[in-house]
């Protein structure tokens, strides 16, 4: 666009403002932008003001140039954009991690191996990520795009490791004749909690435990996990915002969540985090940005220590 602007003798910022697509306009692919699609022209103007566009930089020791660009990013992830992972074990207790996500330099394989190692209580050196990817044999992963690899494939790996861990504890509980709740899995051993010297080596369990007389308990441990973040807003109509939150809470805890208590807590969280949510408004009357605020408010009810947000904030604005 800078080349075209220069050819026409128009300032690059002015040229962009003349051609920017706004709510109500039709995109090259035929989609009419809604009012909550955002105002890219406001973004361009704000950036131009901050960088003092049009003013020549003052002489300095280091030359500094100015440039400006703008784009839209469509959060076009489908509601079934899921991931899966498989963990299987070798006779020496090492684990192989099968993934569908592709390593393109982002470091996902290292991070996912760390997740598996932490959950299984083994050094990361004991986790081998299978480098080969093929749709015939690799677990499913939607795409290697959109900042989704670590939190979606990571969740799949965590679930696969938990699944494998549960199988390992079940086998060990039969061998050690103790409830699996009394066992721990750390440092490549399954042992009585508080008594690490009383237990089994991980390698003795992962493919079934063999007694001295040749009898076997269990079999090959194969952990399976999936990771999915729903991209659709899970809001029930024709309920209000507060009623949707109460519905979510009652589903997870069928005991007591009276609506008045929910409204008080929701109002408190809304004001604390500046979400500006109208609790009494029917959800079908909400914009996309308002719906995203409601989803964030629902998560805050669980008082998470960390929130990782990407597409869930894609259409948030100061005014909802």
Whether the pLDDT of residue 80 is over 80: the answer is: no
In a domain, 261, yes or no: yes
pLDDT range class, residue 301, cuts 50, 70, 90: confident
Q: How far apart are CA 91 and CA 99, in angstroms?
A: 21
Lowest mean pLDDT among 38-52, 53-67, 248-262: 248-262
pLDDT at 289: 74
Residue 47 belongs to what H/E stretch? helix 40-50
Q: Which of 204, 302, 314 is nearest to 249 (CA)?
A: 302
pLDDT at 310: 61
Task: Tell me: do 131 and 176 sit in the same domain.
Answer: yes
Q: Which of 73-77, 97-101, 277-281 has the highest mean pLDDT?
A: 97-101
Mean pLDDT in residue range 273-301: 82
Whether the pLDDT of residue 180 is over 70: the answer is: yes
In a domain, 236, yes or no: no
Last residue of a domain, one of 199, 228, 257: 228
Q: What are the beta bridge partners of residue 210?
A: 216
Compare 290 and 160 and report the one with higher pLDDT.
160
pLDDT at 56: 79
pLDDT range class, residue 232, cuts 50, 70, 90: low
In a domain, 163, yes or no: yes
In a domain, 320, yes or no: no
Q: How far apart are CA 312 and CA 151, in angstroms?
A: 13
Compare 309 and 61 and report the one with higher pLDDT.
61
170 burial level (CB within 10 Å; 0-12, 13-18, 19+): middle
Mean pLDDT in residue range 195-201: 91
For residue 260, what are its two tokens? 């008045």
In a domain, 129, yes or no: yes
Q: What is the pTM of this model?
A: 0.61
pLDDT at 320: 44
Contact 131, 118 (CB under 8 A): no
Mean pLDDT in residue range 114-127: 95
Task: Tell me: do 89 and 218 sit in the same domain.
Answer: yes
Mean pLDDT in residue range 43-66: 85
In a domain, 2, yes or no: yes
Q: What is the mean pLDDT of the chain?
A: 85
pLDDT at 313: 58
Whether the pLDDT of residue 77 is over 70: the answer is: no
Q: Which of 50, 51, 20 is nearest to 38 (CA)?
A: 20
Last residue of a domain, one of 185, 207, 228: 228
pLDDT at 175: 93
In a domain, 234, yes or no: no
In a domain, 319, yes or no: no
Residue 309's domain comprises 241-313
DSSP string, 113-131: HHHHHHHHTS-GGGEEE--
Count structural domains, the chain: 3
For residue 104, what are its two tokens? 């393109």
Q: What is the pLDDT of residues 133-176, one digit of tens each?
A: 888 889 999 888 877 888 889 999 999 999 999 999 999 999 99
Of the chain, the percentage scoring pLDDT greater than 70 comes to 89
pLDDT at 75: 58
Phi first, then psi, for residue 54 (nearest 5°) are 95, -20
Task: Tell me: do 55 and 146 sit in the same domain.
Answer: no
Whether the pLDDT of residue 308 is over 70: the answer is: no
Q: What is the CATH number of the domain that holds 45?
A: 3.30.365.10
Q: How many CB atoms lie within 10 A of CB 268?
A: 11
């Amino acid at each position: 666009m800078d080349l075209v602007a220069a050819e026409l003798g128009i300032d690059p910022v002015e040229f962009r403002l003349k051609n920017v697509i706004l709510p109500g306009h039709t995109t090259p692919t035929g989609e009419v932008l809604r009012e909550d699609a955002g105002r890219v022209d406001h973004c361009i103007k704000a950036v131009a003001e901050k960088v003092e566009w049009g003013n020549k930089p003052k002489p300095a020791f280091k030359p500094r140039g100015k440039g400006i660009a703008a784009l839209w990013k469509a959060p076009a992830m489908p509601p079934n954009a899921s991931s899966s992972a498989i963990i299987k074990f070798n006779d020496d207790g090492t684990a192989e991690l099968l993934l569908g996500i592709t390593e393109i330099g982002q470091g996902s394989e290292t991070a996912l191996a760390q997740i598996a190692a932490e959950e299984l209580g083994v050094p990361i050196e004991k986790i081998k990520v299978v480098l080969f990817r093929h749709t015939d044999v690799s677990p499913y992963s939607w795409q290697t795009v959109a900042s989704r690899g670590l939190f979606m494939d990571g969740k799949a790996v965590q679930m696969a490791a938990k699944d494998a861990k549960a199988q390992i504890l079940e086998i060990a509980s039969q061998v050690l004749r103790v409830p699996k709740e009394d066992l721990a899995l750390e440092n490549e051993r399954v042992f009585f909690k508080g008594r690490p010297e009383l237990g089994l080596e991980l390698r003795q369990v992962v493919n079934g435990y063999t007694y001295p007389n040749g009898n076997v308990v269990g079999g090959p441990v194969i952990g399976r996990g999936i990771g999915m973040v729903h991209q659709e807003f899970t809001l029930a109509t024709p309920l209000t915002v507060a009623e949707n939150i109460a519905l979510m809470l009652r589903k997870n805890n069928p005991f007591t969540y009276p609506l008045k208590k929910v409204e008080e807590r929701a109002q408190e969280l809304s004001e604390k985090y500046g979400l500006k949510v109208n609790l009494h408004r029917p959800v079908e009357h909400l914009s996309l940005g308002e719906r995203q605020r409601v989803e964030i408010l629902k998560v805050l009810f669980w008082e998470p220590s960390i929130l990782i947000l990407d597409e869930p904030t894609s259409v948030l604005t100061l005014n909802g």
